[in-house]
Amino acid sequence: MVIPKRQRVTVITAREMVESLRDEGIGAELVGQDGLVPTHVRAIDRADENCLTFYIGGDSELVRNLRNCVLLCKDGLTGVHESVSRIVVEDPRLAFAIIAQQFLPPLPGPGIHPTAIVDDESELHPTAYIGPYCTLEKCVVGEGCVIHPRVMIYANTTIGRRVEVESGAVIGATGLGRSVGPDGRHWLFPHFGETVLEDEVFVGANSVITRGVLGNTVLKDGSRVNSGVVIAHNCVVGRHTAISIGVTMSGSGVVGERCFIGSSASLKEGIKLGNDVVVGMGSIVTKSFEEDGVVIMGNPARRYKERS
């Protein structure tokens, strides 16, 4: 069985880039020729002809050397050769991230790889892709999802639309919820809950998302979990929150919207973070910080400042 590739549009003019940015609510103005079509992307220090690049400041000589390319930059930039098509935006890095999606390799799918094992009672949208050596118990996988090779998805998992799960991730595993008997024996507290990944969630390689005990573990719309992250039972991760590599989030924690949790941070069970909170890398969070927009760091984590 040959799995077809999901194609991206890779022929896009400078004018079409401007229109795409405006469609995303980003103000953009084109200065120079509008028909130039980049064939690849480059960092500004490696930029060559027919590339798409961006400039956020620094060595202005890099800008003066550009020829026949598309440059995303802020207003007021001088010394740019007339052959360069400039797209003027407030945040060139963000604009590049949006436009450069068109130059990524095509995604696989839709389809189920013949080596994947999928429970007959699973509900898979016909546009979803299930990669080699995946195992799916009874679950729901929505429209446009990409499940990369060797992912394990346990029963009672619901995955929304356009979710991407990278290789080696485990979704819906059993956590450490337990009770201790009089003889010291550990009794595993049964996990009856579900795991819910809402729309456009990203889960990185080798991350583990544990299902809920009596409630659900939920990653809300647009949240992003990097590689090697552990999210325990009954946690809730807010919309558009990003969790960096190696973070451990203990059970029943709640993280608000648009937060950023730095690499290798650890969050104690039951803590709550407000919206727009930043947790510094390596921080040990032992209490809740429910105020919006604060930066916390350290061991134990303390409030550092308000997020700018």
Reported pTM: 0.86
Specify whether 125 is catalytic.
no
Count how many residues are written for the chain: 308
Measured CA to CA, the distance from residue 245 to residue 89 in angstroms comes to 30
Q: Check whether 3 has a pLDDT greater than 50.
A: no
- 178-to-156, 181, 189, 195, 253 alpha-carbon distances in Å: 20, 10, 5, 19, 17
As a whole number of angstroms, the distance between CA 123 and CA 142 comes to 8
pLDDT given at position 308: 60
pLDDT for position 1: 39
Indicate if the pLDDT at residue 231 is higher than 60.
yes
User: What distance in Å separates the CA atoms of residue 308 and residue 235, rounded to the nearest whole number?
Assistant: 27
Judge whether 222 and 245 are in contact, CB under 8 Å.
no
CB atoms under 10 Å from CB of 12, counted, come to 18
Q: 92-99 and 14-23 are packed helices; what angle lies between their axes, rounded to 10 degrees?
A: 100
| pLDDT tens-digit map of 88-115 | 999 999 999 999 988 888 778 799 999 9
Question: How far, in Å, are 66, 82, 83, 97, 183 from residue 77 at the CA level?
Answer: 13, 13, 15, 20, 73
Examine the pLDDT at 280 and tell me if it is beyond 90: yes
Give the active site residue among 40, 186, 233, 240.
233
The token duo for 237 is 């991760």
Is pLDDT above 80 for 175? yes
Distance, CA of 63 to CA of 236 (rounded, Å): 44
Task: Name the CATH superfamily, with its identifier, for domain 14-103.
Answer: MurE/MurF, N-terminal domain (3.40.1390.10)
The C-alpha atoms of residue 132 and residue 263 are separated, in whole angstroms, by 29
Rounded to 5 degrees, what angle do the CA atoms 137, 217, 295 make? Answer: 140
pLDDT at residue 273, rounded to an integer: 98
- Indicate the burial class of 235 (C-beta count within 10 angstroms; 0-12, 13-18, 19 or more): buried
Domain ranges across the chain: 14-103, 108-306
At the top level of CATH, the class of 108-306 is: mainly beta
- Contact call for residues 280 and 301 (beta carbons, < 8 A): yes
pLDDT above 90 as % of the chain: 80
- Identify whether the C-beta of residue 14 lies closer than 8 Å to the C-beta of residue 33: yes
**The tokens of 156 are what?**
């009672």
